[in-house]
Amino acid sequence: MSYEALVPVMRRLAIEAGRVILQVYDAPDFEVRSKSDASPVTEADEAADALISAGLREAFPDLMLVTEEQAASHAQTGDTFLIVDPLDGTKEFIQRRGDFTVNIALVEDGVPTRGVVYAPAKGRMFYTLPDGQSVEETGDLDPGRAGPVTPISVGFPDNRGLMVVASKSHRDQATDDYIAAYAVRDMTSAGSSLKFCLVATGEADLYPRLGRTMEWDTAAGHAVLAGAGGQVVRLDDHKPLTYGKPGYENPFFIAHAPGVLLRSL
């Protein structure tokens, strides 16, 4: 795989998908339906999925592709594949809270190695460069031309007072109980894969997730965090979170900056 070829395509498709999503987001109204698992889906999810899927299949026809909206039709892919959540944070989208993202990632041998996370309503774009370093791009986010980028890196956590980020839409008592095991300086909440990016930029030290997630929810954010020096581990045994699992379902996990003294349940 040529990362030099992959990264510009992922970046461009994320921005183009974000424009399609915002057209729906900015409309006076849009239809919301329920999928078979009772999760919501909108025309923005489906339009972004179609755009990204077509672009990736044209550019990389030999790579397996998994997307949230088409996952039911996929056989298990193996250890190396592209994985997409065209609109992560649909609940945030529906409630017009802005914390939704476009996620595109490459998984190799079970590890997310390159990824892009774009939050179109917030104008924030994070991705891994071909060399693996994670950056945040600023400027007008032209799909045809990369703008200024700033390397990002995790912070240096102080275990006497950590900055914790947790889910906006999926917060529960189990999560609060787990967070209570740490000395917490402050907390914030965010939707979608932005939580990984807040750890990647040093805006947070710790993101625990005690709830159901799928690999397309986490792969791009995982790649961005890893490229900024962070880690994502299983909550049960603190071993690295891997990809290509049966059904693409994740266990509970912890995303963190190195130096955080991890707690168990």
Instruction: Compute the 3-state secondary structure of the chain and give helix, strand, coil in percent, each to the nearest 5.
Output: 30, 30, 40
pLDDT at 237 over 90: yes
CATH 3.30.540.10 domain residues, the chain: 3-151
3 and 114 in contact (C-beta within 8 Å)? yes
Three-class DSSP category at 225: helix
pLDDT in tens, 130-168: 999 999 999 999 999 999 999 999 999 999 999 999 986
Max distance between CA atoms of the chain, in angstroms, equals: 50
Mean pLDDT of 162-187: 90
Mean pLDDT of 47-65: 95
pLDDT at 201 over 90: yes
pLDDT in tens, 8-48: 999 999 999 999 999 999 987 887 877 766 577 788 999 99
pLDDT at 169 over 90: no
- Report the predicted TM-score, pTM, of the whole model to 2 decimal places: 0.94
Calpha distance 235→210 (Å, rounded): 8
Strand partners, 119: 124
3-151: CATH number: 3.30.540.10
Calpha distance 187→72 (Å, rounded): 36
Query: What CATH class has 162-256?
Result: alpha beta
Q: What is the pLDDT of residue 37?
A: 65
CATH 3.40.190.80 domain residues, the chain: 162-256
Mean pLDDT of 213-220: 96
Q: What is the pLDDT of residue 74?
A: 55
Query: Mean pLDDT in the chain?
Result: 92
- Identify the CA nearest to 101 among candidates 43, 22, 24, 206: 22
Q: What is the pLDDT of residue 170?
A: 65
pLDDT at 55 over 70: yes
pLDDT at 89 over 60: yes
Q: What is the pLDDT of residue 28?
A: 79
Q: How far from the centroid of its chain's Cα atoms is residue 178's Cα?
A: 22
Q: Which of 21-35, 70-84, 219-233, 241-255 has the lowest mean pLDDT?
A: 70-84
